[in-house]
Amino acid sequence: MALLERAVARVRATLEFVKFSHTVFALPFALIAMVVAAHGLPSLRVFLLILACMATARTAAMAFNRICDWEWDKLNPRTANRSKLATRQTAYGLVGVCLCLFVWATAALNPLCFLLSIPACFLILIYSLTKRFTPFSHAFLGLALAAAPMGAWAAVRGELTDAAPWALMAGVLCWVFGFDLIYSTLDVEFDRKAGLFSFPSRYGVPAALRWAGVLHVLAWGLFLLFGWLAGLGAVYWIALGIVAAALVWEQRLSRTGEVGRINVAFFQVNALVGLTLLLSVAVQIWLF
C-alpha cells in the first residue's frame, strides 16, 4: 500500500512539474478543429492519436522548458518549488520519450502529419530559449499552442488547404500571446534582474497590458472569422458573446496587479474561453 501511495505521489508531482492541467488551453482548440474537420467525430483511432500527439508534444515542451530554466526557476520565488517536483534526469527522460512517441503518433496518422512533425518538434522546444534573446517570447508560445488546431485538422483531412484552420490558428496565437503577456507581469522584476527578455521587463507592465488587450480583440475577431468560414451558426455566436465577456473580465483582473486575481485571469478565465468554444462547436454540429 505504501509503495502504491509513493507511486501515486510521484505521478502527481510529475504532472505538476509539467503543469499537465494547463493542457486545457490548447486541447479544446485541437478538438474544435477535429470536430469541424470531421463534421462530427473522426474514427476512434484518429481521435486517440490526436490526443496522444497533444499529450506528448506538450509534455516534451514543458519538460524541456524546466530543463532550460532550471537555475532561474530555483531563484524565482514564484517557481522555486519546481525543481523539487522532479529531477533533471526525469525531465530529460520525459523529453526524449515524449518526442519519440509524438513522431510515432504523427506517422500513424498520415504522411502530412509525419512531414510536419519535425518542424513541430522544433517549434514546441524553441519557445524555452526565446526569452534569452527576444522580448517576443510570448508570441513564440502562442505559435506553439496555435499549431495544435492545425495538426488536428491535418490529422482528420490530410491537408491544410481550407481557410478555417488558419483563422483558428491565428486566433489562438493572438489569444495565447495576450494572456502570456498578462501572466509574465508577475515576473517582471525577476526578469529584469536576471537579464531576461520578457516583454514587460523591456517595455513595462502598462505597455504589456495594452498589447494584451489589443491581441485579445484580434483573437476574438479571428474566432468570429473561423466561425463564419466553418459555417457555424447561432450556438457558436452566443458562445462568442460569452468569450467576449470573459476576455473583458480577464483584462479587468489583470489591471489590479494582484497575484491571486492574475492567476484567476490566467487559468480559470482562459480555460472558460476554450471550453466554451469547444462546447458550442460540439452542440452546433451534433444537434443542429
**Of the listed ranges 78-87, 88-97, 100-109, the one predicted with least confidence:** 78-87
What is the per-residue pLDDT across 210-233, written as a single tens digit (0 to 9) for each?
999 999 999 999 999 999 999 999
What is the per-residue pLDDT across 229-251, written as a single tens digit (0 to 9) for each?
999 999 999 999 999 999 999 99
Q: What structural domains and CATH numbers belong to the chain? A: 8-287 (1.10.357.140)
User: Binning pLDDT at 50, 70 and 90, where does residue 93 land?
Assistant: very high
- pLDDT at position 13 over 90: no
pLDDT of residue 220: 98
**Cell numbers 500513424 correspond to what residue?**
108
Strand ranges, E, within 176-238: none
User: Binning pLDDT at 50, 70 and 90, where does residue 141 land?
Assistant: very high
Helix (H) or strand (E) holding 78: none
Per this entry, what is the length of the chain?
288
Supply the angle between the helices 44-68 and 137-157 in degrees, to the nearest 10. Answer: 160
Task: Supply the pTM of this predicted model.
Answer: 0.93
100 Cβ neighbours under 8 A, 6+ residues apart:
none
User: Cβ distance 106 to 114 under 8 Å?
Assistant: yes
